[in-house]
Amino acid sequence: MLLDLKDAFLNEGVHRLADYKLDLSSVAVDGVNPMPKPVWVRAEAVNTAGVVRLIIKAEFLYSRPCDRCFSPSDRNMSLEFEHNLVTSLSGDSNDDYIEVPDYLLDLDELTTTDILLELPLKYLCSDDCKGLCQNCGANLNDGDCDCDKKTVDSRLEVLKQLLN
Ligand SMILES: [Zn+2]
Ligand SMILES: [Zn+2]
C-alpha cells in the first residue's frame, strides 16, 4: 500500500498508522515460497522535529524445509524495523534516511525488502536438529537408525574376539 505521510510531515507530533495484511505468498527464497499466509503489517509514523520516524512491525508464519534434515518446519516470526524519513536528503545520500519527496511511501516494497534482509540465512527446525544419517538417509530426529547400531555391534564383535 502507499502510505500518504503529508500530514505527518507537515505537523509535528502527528501519528500516522497503517494496519493491514500483505500478501507475500509469491516471494521465493531458495526455491520455496516461505510465506504462504498473509503477513500482518503494522506501521506507525511519527513526526519528531521535522524527521518522520517509521516503525514497522511484521508478523507472519515462516514455513520452509530445515536446512539440515529437510523436514518442513513452521515458525512464527515477529520482526520490527525502524526508518527515518525525510522529504529531501541534504548533501550526500545517507543510508540512515529514506527520501520521500512526494510524501508517498511504498510501504509494501519497504516492508518486503526489510523482511527479506532479516530472514535467517541458515534455517533449522530446532537448534539441536540431528539431521540425516549420512549412510541410510534416515531422519535422526525420529530416532537412531540401524546404521549406528551395526557400527557399535561390529566394534563389540571385534572386542569379543580379542577377549576370546
Ligand atoms: Zn531439522
Ligand atoms: Zn542410517
Given the C-alpha cell 537408525, which residue does it identify? 145
Instruction: Compute the distance from residue 9 Cα to the ligand 1 centre, in Å.
Output: 47
Instruction: Compute the distance from residue 125 Cα to the ligand 2 centre, in Å.
Output: 20
pLDDT, the chain, mean: 90
Closest-lying ligand to the alpha carbon of 126? 1
Instruction: Compute the distance from residue 158 Cα to the ligand 2 centre, in Å.
Output: 21
Closest-lying ligand to the alpha carbon of 149? 2
Closest C-alpha to 84, from 94, 70, 72, 92: 94
Closest-lying ligand to the alpha carbon of 142? 1
Whether the CB-CB separation of 110 and 96 falls below 8 Å is answered with: no
Range list of H helices, 19-71: none
SS3 state at 17: strand
pTM for this prediction = 0.81
pLDDT in tens, 95-110: 788 999 899 999 999 9
Instruction: Compute the distance from residue 62 Cα to the ligand 1 centre, in Å.
Output: 15
pLDDT in tens, 32-55: 999 999 999 999 999 988 789 999
Overall average pLDDT of the 136-164 stretch: 77
Closest C-alpha to 19, from 52, 56, 61: 56
Strand partners, 86: 99
Q: Which residues surround ligand 2, an ion (CB under 5 A)?
A: 133, 135-136, 138, 145, 147
Instruction: Compute the distance from residue 137 Cα to the ligand 2 centre, in Å.
Output: 6
**pLDDT above 90 covers what percent of the chain?**
69
pLDDT in tens, 55-108: 999 999 999 999 999 999 999 999 999 999 988 877 666 678 899 989 999 999
Closest-lying ligand to the alpha carbon of 138? 2
Name the phi and psi angles at 50, rounded to 5: 90, -15
Alpha-carbon separation of residue 42 from 1, 23, 54, 78 (angstroms)? 12, 14, 10, 11
Across 10-36, b (16+ Cβ under 10 Å) vs e yields: eeeeeebebeeebebeeeeeeeeebbb
Alpha-carbon separation of residue 160 from 28, 148, 152, 154, 155 (angstroms)? 55, 18, 12, 10, 9
Q: No. of H helices and E strands in the chain? A: 3, 7
